[in-house]
Amino acid sequence: MTSFIIKKGTVVDPLREKVFPADVLVVGGRIAAIGPGLAGQKETTVINAEGCLVLPGLIDMHVHLREPGFEHKETIASGTRAALRGGFTAVCAMPNTRPVCDRAAVAGFVLDRARAAGNARVYPVGALSKGSEGKELAPFGEMRDAGVVAFSDDGRWLADAHLMRRAMEYAAMLDVPVISHCEDPALSAGGVMNEGFTATILGLRGMPAAAEEVAVARDILLAELTGCHLHVAHVSTAGAVRLIREAKARGVRVTAEVTPHHFTLTEEAVRGYDTNAKVNPPLRTAADVAALKEGLADGTIDVIATDHAPHSREEKETEFDAAPFGMVGLETAVGLVFTELVSPGVLTLPQAVAKMTVNPARILRLEAGVLAEGAVADITLVDPEREEVVEPERFASQGKNTAFGGWQLKGTPVGVMVGGRWFEVRPSGKRLPGKKR
Ligand code: DOR
């Protein structure tokens, strides 16, 4: 049986909030032991993790892999390679493909392609409504049986409150969460950035914070009515954080995520009309960024997810109004979390790791996200001291559309293990890859 020993690393346990030096022994794709001074067999491959953090495999629960239908932006193979290079062992694939993932056959296709690619794990998300058109519910039961882990019309809000109520009732029955892209289209219509002073100066049409908050408020009320688990995608405003905090205090089953671009950048990034800064929801104000960080710190926001949204160069190299929304995120997330949240003390290391491992795993009901004896060996190695300049040309993703090109980030994924398969994801010098002992 193939075996590995990850030597001399620092293990981060997000469940018990512990950080401690230990070796990790992996046998036959599972974690066999965690402890000091472990020894393997003669044929055990040694991975020297000195100076590295050994984390449960990171999970990104909000990724656009674009296949089927938009392979000029990304494929399941390229997107899952980008996931590995970014330190992620698993991603959720959003359903806004062509065709939309609104039935078992499409979910099955995504899973087949992911298996063939053999990179990070892929968990498909099924659409709430057929074609994500907001008119008729998609077949939840068959999609759940095919392996979808959540339902969402991501990219759009299900504006029909009655249909959303029914969707939540079915989802609650199946014990599958509903992920809502909270944006009232009547309020955001025509907008391309955050509404406010900067938009006025730039002569661009704005999307008000209220477009998000109205939608969050309604969905919280429907979650309360139905008992459904509501997960709010890409929270971007202070008001949305407040609504979620209040709902949690009332006992509503609601969880939420924030993206690295929303906790790092403000609408100021749009000055210069950089289409890479055109995202939906839009980058907001400094006060919103501060509120997102508070929400992360006090637990209102459970998850960090990237909303990795690759687009081709041709699509993004156009005037601001015409460019599509979205930014890639898989290969900058770990660097941004370490640089923007862990280093300045917004989150402790175990808190940050929890938001990328055990918390998304719990929301999606996955047996993943922890390092424990007997668990599947999904492991991420991060060198917290290693600095890297973001070079989009080096991304494994086909999408180079990032607003972080040229940024220097500290905290770099160096290797990942998926079910006992080892991938070195950065050139190693003397540290990696594993050598026979
Ligand atoms: O920026 C975004 N891009 N936000 C979304 O909600 C959808 C996504 C996409 O699919 O490109």
Domain boundaries, the chain: 3-54+374-424, 57-364
77 Cα: distance to centroid of ligand 1 (angstroms) = 20
| Cβ(64) – ligand 1 distance below 6 Å | yes
Place of tokens 């406010």: 196
State the pLDDT confidence band at 178, using cuts at 50, 70 and 90.
very high
Between helices 104-117 and 76-85, what is the axis angle to 10°? 60
State the pLDDT confidence band at 433, using cuts at 50, 70 and 90.
very low
* Superfamily of domain 3-54+374-424 in the CATH hierarchy: Urease, subunit C, domain 1 (2.30.40.10)
pLDDT tops 80 at residue 101: yes
Per-residue model confidence (pLDDT) at position 1: 85
Average pLDDT over residues 307-321: 98
| Cβ(325) – ligand 1 distance below 6 Å | yes
pLDDT tops 60 at residue 429: no
What value, to the nearest 5°, has the Cα angle with vertex 55 and ends 177 and 378?
A: 65
| Cβ(247) – ligand 1 distance below 6 Å | no
Average pLDDT over residues 318-322: 98
Per-residue model confidence (pLDDT) at position 427: 82
Mutational pocket test of ligand 1: of 180, 184, 307, the residue with most ligand atoms within 8 Å of the beta carbon? 307
- CATH class held by domain 57-364: alpha beta
Per-residue model confidence (pLDDT) at position 431: 45
Average pLDDT over residues 167-176: 98
pLDDT tops 80 at residue 436: no
Closest Cα to residue 359, out of 56, 155, 93, 54?
A: 56
Per-residue model confidence (pLDDT) at position 158: 98
Tokens for 287? 């006060």
Which of 74-78, 115-119, 392-396, 433-437 is predicted least confidently?
433-437
Place of tokens 């036959």: 28
User: Are 382 and 413 contacting, i.e. CB atoms less than 8 angstroms apart?
Assistant: yes
Pairing between β-strand 45-48 and β-strand 435-436 as defined by DSSP bridges: antiparallel
155 Cα: distance to centroid of ligand 1 (angstroms) = 5
C-alpha–C-alpha distance, residues 350 and 356, integer Å: 10
| Cβ(309) – ligand 1 distance below 6 Å | yes
Ligand 1 atom nearest the C-alpha of 94 is 10
pLDDT tops 50 at residue 398: yes
Mean predicted lDDT score pLDDT of the chain: 97
Closest residue by Cα to atom 3, ligand 1, is 326
Per-residue model confidence (pLDDT) at position 40: 87
> Residue 121 phi/psi, 5° resolution?
-70, 150
DSSP conformation letters of 223-240: HHHH---EEE-S---HHH
C-alpha–C-alpha distance, residues 52 and 9, integer Å: 5
Considering the chain, what percentage of its residues have pLDDT values greater than 90? 97
Average pLDDT over residues 301-324: 98
Average pLDDT over residues 405-422: 98
What is the enclosing helix (H) or strand (E) of 87? none
Average pLDDT over residues 415-425: 97
What is the enclosing helix (H) or strand (E) of 430? none
Per-residue model confidence (pLDDT) at position 340: 98
State the pLDDT confidence band at 351, using cuts at 50, 70 and 90.
very high
| Cβ(320) – ligand 1 distance below 6 Å | no
pLDDT tops 70 at residue 379: yes
State the pLDDT confidence band at 297, using cuts at 50, 70 and 90.
very high
- The CA-based diameter of the chain, rounded to the nearest angstrom, is 68
